[in-house]
Amino acid sequence: MGADVIVLHRFPLDRGEGFDAHAHDDHQLIWASAGVLTVEVGARYWVLPTTLGLWMPAGIVHAPLAVRESVMEGLYFDPARTPVDWAEPTVLQMGPLSRQLVSYLARDLGAEERERAERVLLDTLEPVGRRAIAVPVPADPRARDVARLLLDDPADARSLDEFGRDVGASSRTLLRLFQSETGMSFGTWRTHARIQASVALLAEGEPVSRVAYRVGYSTPSAFIAAFHRVSGTTPGAYFHAGEGSSRADGT
C-alpha cells in the first residue's frame, strides 16, 4: 500500500451491478456515498444505506451489490498499521465527519495532511451495534429454499406448513432448522428478513405506508413497531442517526 495507511477507490455501479465473491489482503471499509448496497458474506447479508459502512477484515470473502444506481467507496487499510481489532465484518456509523474525511482523503494531500486525516477517520469509525441488520441464511437445503423464497418476496404470507409442502419438510423440521442454523425462531427470522428488505426500499424514497405493505405488514404502525424491535430505532431515525437529527417519526 506504499506510504499510505488508507487507499481509496471509487466504483460507480448501476442497479444490480456488483462484484463476484472475493477477498483482499487489506482490511476494507465498504460504503455507499450514494445509493444503497448489499453485501453478502457467507450465509449473511447486510443492507447499507449511505449512513452505514461495513468493515471487512482482510481475508474475508464478500460480494457487494448495488440495489439501485450507487457509488461504492472502497477504502483499503494496511493491516500492519491499522489500530483496530474488528475480527469479523462490522457495521459502522458513517456520520457527517466520517463522510467528509473520505472525500478529503480522495484529494492529492501532503504526507502530514494525509496522516492526520487518516488518524481522525479511524477515530470516527464506531460500530452501530443493534442498528446493524444482518440476516443469516440456513445451510440445510430445505430451510434455505424457504429463506430464499422470503428474501425474494418478504410479503409472502404463507405459513410454515405451506412452505414445508413446497420444500418437502414438515413445519416442525423447518422450525428446528431455523432455530439451530440461524439462532432465531422462524417468526423472528421472517421479521428480520422483512425489515432488512425495507431498508433498501426506504433508502430509495418509498413512503413508509407503501414499504409496510410491500414487506408484508397490514399497517404502517405494525411495520414501525417491528422495525424498532429489530433495529432499536424508527425508520426515520435509522437514516438520520449521526446527523444531529432527533426525528422519532416513521417517515
Task: Share the mean pLDDT of the chain.
Answer: 87
Q: Are 22 and 63 in contact (CB under 8 A)?
A: yes
Beta bridge partners of 9: 74
Q: Which amino acid is at 230?
A: V
Please determine, for residue 191, whether its predicted confidence score (pLDDT) is greater than 60: yes
Q: Are 223 and 215 in contact (CB under 8 A)?
A: yes
Mean pLDDT for 118-147 is 86
3-state secondary structure of 189: helix
Lookup: cell for 246 = 432527533
Q: Give the tens place of pLDDT for each residue, 76-94.
A: 999 998 988 899 999 898 8
- pLDDT-based confidence at residue 250 (cuts at 50, 70, 90): very low
Q: Give the tens place of pLDDT for each residue, 203-241.
A: 777 899 999 999 999 999 999 999 998 888 888 877 665
- pLDDT-based confidence at residue 140 (cuts at 50, 70, 90): very high
Handedness of CA 221, 223, 226, 227 (dihedral sign): negative
Q: How far apart are CA 136 and CA 142, in angstroms?
A: 15
Please determine, for residue 249, whether its predicted confidence score (pLDDT) is greater than 50: no
Q: Are 184 and 215 in contact (CB under 8 A)?
A: no
Q: What are phi and psi of 217, to 5 degrees?
A: -105, 140
Structural domains of the chain ordered from first start: 6-131 (2.60.120.280), 137-238 (1.10.10.60)
Of residues 152, 154, 150, the one with CA closest to residue 163: 150
Q: Which amino acid is at 157?
A: A
Please determine, for residue 195, whether its predicted confidence score (pLDDT) is greater than 80: yes
Q: Are 136 and 182 in contact (CB under 8 A)?
A: yes
Residues 6+ apart with CB under 8 A from 87: 57
Q: In residues, how long is the chain?
A: 251
**From its phi and psi, is residue 244 left (phi > 0), alpha (psi between -120 and 50) or beta?**
left
The lowest-confidence range among 104-118, 122-136, 192-206 is: 122-136
3-state secondary structure of 228: helix
